[in-house]
Amino acid sequence: MPAEGVTRYAGRVRLNPRLAALPTYPTVAIDRVRDALLAAGRTVYDFGTGDPIEPTPPFIREALRWSIADNCRYPTVLGEPGVRVAFAGYARRRLGVTLDPATEILPTSGSKEAVFHLPLLVVDPNSPDRTVIFPDPGYSVYYRGAVLAGGHPCPQPLSGDYVQRIWELPVEVLRQTRLAWINTPHNPSGAVTSLDDLRRTWETCREHDILLVSDECYMDVWFDEAPASILQVPGALEPGSGVLAIYSLSKRSGMTGYRAGIVAGDRLAIAALRGLRTNPGLAPQDFVNTAAAAAWSDDVHAEERRLLFGAKRKLLVDFLESVGLTVTASEASFYVWVRAPGGDGDAFAARLLEAGVLTNPGSFFAVTAAGRDHVRFALVPDLDGCRAAVEAMRAIL
Ligand SMILES: Cc1ncc(COP(=O)(O)O)c(C=O)c1O
């Protein structure tokens, strides 16, 4: 990640040193590069930040519009039942699992804030056993949330197939761990963890009383085979299992700006999390929950979007492979993960910029050296944009 601290502050008050030590947030860094290119009059094919450009389906926008009450009063942490009932329906259809909307589902303001706040549930900054395990490269909020909660961040370096195998970590690390993050389908690599490996991951966490949270926010963006969920592992929904899963409507339904996520799983952990979230009052607005309920109740639009992302992915992968590049993992998610020629992701991302193609070098997602030999393309431009980007890359590769 870029070494520069995120918070430049010239005043006299003493900032939290943990905050000052964090590197620039990757999307901030990549958006700066894009803005500089645009300011220089360059054409930019923006595969940088994973924010889809396809419109939110009209029925979702309508649901939001009509649900704004005359007086929008404080939302509660649990929210109205509608969104939880709708998510339970989705979980039954998509995953074949039965969730109790009253006790096993919580709405969140996007999944990012849930990822950020979850360490506060289990991390005791004064205790030696305060380790938080997360995939590296990975979504940078696992690291940031662990650091700011006073946890001990433990990146698990991934390579090869980019599947995270927690059971391979030393037992001394597992003994010190309170929270383990896994992410399937994985950002940035698109790797998918099998049901059997999910089961093994949970067995390892259970043995060491670790809260296991599976970030499954790309569950509905897949290309050949629908990914498995931690919630499908037999026993994962037993009270006290220590298993939670995180979902999002950002990519599934084109709702990044609405901030609509879900945490589901072990009812004891959900009850504790609900209590935690009353402190800052973390609760999506009722009108967002209504729009989210509409989105979780419909699979047709999600399937249309999935096929569209698949078409973009095919275009990109076919081209990259035709010029001799290696696409790694990339079985699902909103991303294509490409090995850089010569093994230097930063240099390759800079070279792609010559063609106006903006990607994220693997270093943006890594705390260790893992993944720095790759770049990530987010499937953002429309099909015509992808075709134009392919032609621009053809000229320089
Ligand atoms: C792995 C992962 N988790 C969580 C999120 C947060 O998504 P949102 O807050 O839009 O639901 C992202 C966003 O890119 C992500 O890549």
Distance from the alpha carbon of residue 308 to the mean position of ligand 1, in angstroms: 20
Same CATH topology for 17-55+301-396 and 70-296: the answer is: no
Indicate the residue type of 389. A
Distance from the alpha carbon of residue 395 to the mean position of ligand 1, in angstroms: 33
Q: Mind listing the pLDDT tens digit for each residue in 297-325?
A: 999 999 999 999 999 999 999 999 999 99
17-55+301-396: in CATH 3.90.1150.10: yes
Task: Give whole-number Cα distances, 330 to 137, 237, 252, 359, in Å.
Answer: 14, 29, 17, 15
**pLDDT for the residue 2:** 42
Distance from the alpha carbon of residue 217 to the mean position of ligand 1, in angstroms: 6
DSSP string, 205-263: HHHTT-EEEEE-TTTT-BSSSPPP-GGGSTTTTSTT--EEEEEESTTTTT-GGG--EEE
What is the residue with the minimal CA distance to atom 5 of ligand 1? 112
Distance CA 338, CA 386 (A): 16
Burial code of 345-366, b = ≥16 C-beta within 10 A, e = fewer?
bbebbebbbebbbbbbbbbbbb
For the chain, where are the E strands, in sequence order?
A: 45-46, 105-108, 131-136, 152-157, 177-183, 211-215, 243-248, 261-265, 326-328, 335-339, 357-358, 360-361, 374-378
**pLDDT for the residue 6:** 55
Distance from the alpha carbon of residue 144 to the mean position of ligand 1, in angstroms: 14
Distance from the alpha carbon of residue 354 to the mean position of ligand 1, in angstroms: 29
Distance CA 315, CA 295 (A): 28
**pLDDT for the residue 255:** 98
Close Cβ partners of 16 (under 8 Å, ≥ 6 residues apart): 148
Distance from the alpha carbon of residue 375 to the mean position of ligand 1, in angstroms: 18
Distance CA 289, CA 60 (A): 11
Task: Give whole-number Cα distances, 177 to 124, 142, 172, 189, 310, in Å.
Answer: 11, 14, 9, 25, 37
Distance from the alpha carbon of residue 51 to the mean position of ligand 1, in angstroms: 10
For the full predicted model, state whether its pTM sits above 0.85.
yes
Both tokens of 205, joined, read: 């966490």
- Tokens 């360490």 map to which residue? 119
Distance CA 152, CA 129 (A): 8
Distance CA 216, CA 184 (A): 5
What is the topology classification, in CATH, of domain 70-296? Aspartate Aminotransferase; domain 2 (3.40.640)
What is the residue with the minimal CA distance to atom 14 of ligand 1? 50
From 49, 113, 115, mutation site for ligand 1 pocket: most ligand atoms within 8 A of C-beta: 115
Nearest Cα neighbor of 327 from 315, 340, 342 is 340
Distance from the alpha carbon of residue 299 to the mean position of ligand 1, in angstroms: 20
Residue 160's Cβ-side half-sphere holds a number of Cα atoms within 13 Å equal to 4
Ligand 1 atom with least separation from CA of 249: 11
Ligand 1 atom with least separation from CA of 256: 10
Nearest Cα neighbor of 383 from 307, 323, 324, 300 is 307
Count of C-beta atoms within a 10 Å radius of residue 61: 16
89 by DSSP, 3-state: which? Answer: helix
Q: Mind listing the pLDDT tens digit for each residue in 239-271?
A: 999 999 999 999 999 999 999 999 999 999 999
For the chain, give every domain's residue range: 17-55+301-396, 70-296
Distance from the alpha carbon of residue 256 to the mean position of ligand 1, in angstroms: 9
State the 10-residue block means of pLDDT for the chain, 397 residues long: 57 90 88 92 95 97 96 96 98 98 98 98 98 98 98 98 98 98 98 98 98 98 97 98 98 98 98 98 97 98 98 98 98 97 96 96 96 98 98 96
The residues lining ligand 1, judged by C-beta closer than 6 Å to any ligand atom, are: 50, 110-112, 115, 139, 183, 187, 215, 217, 248, 250, 256, 261
Both tokens of 13, joined, read: 């008050």
From 134, 250, 379, 380, mutation site for ligand 1 pocket: most ligand atoms within 8 A of C-beta: 250
Nearest Cα neighbor of 291 from 53, 110, 51, 99 is 110
- Tokens 């609900």 map to which residue? 274
Distance CA 56, CA 256 (A): 9
| Maximum CA extent, the chain | 60
Distance from the alpha carbon of residue 147 to the mean position of ligand 1, in angstroms: 18
From 27, 56, 193, 248, mutation site for ligand 1 pocket: most ligand atoms within 8 A of C-beta: 248
Distance CA 370, CA 352 (A): 21
Distance from the alpha carbon of residue 353 to the mean position of ligand 1, in angstroms: 25
Close Cβ partners of 52 (under 8 Å, ≥ 6 residues apart): 250, 251, 254, 256, 305, 334, 379, 380
Ligand 1 atom with least separation from CA of 261: 11
For 268, counting Cβ atoms within 10 Å of its Cβ (0-12 exposed, 13-18 middle, 19+ buried), the class is middle
Ligand 1 atom with least separation from CA of 250: 10
- From first CA to last CA, the distance across the chain in angstroms is 25
Ligand 1 atom with least separation from CA of 186: 1
Ligand 1 atom with least separation from CA of 114: 9
**pLDDT for the residue 24:** 87
What is the residue with the minimal CA distance to atom 2 of ligand 1? 139
Ligand 1 atom with least separation from CA of 260: 11
β-pairing, 177-183 vs 243-248, is: unpaired
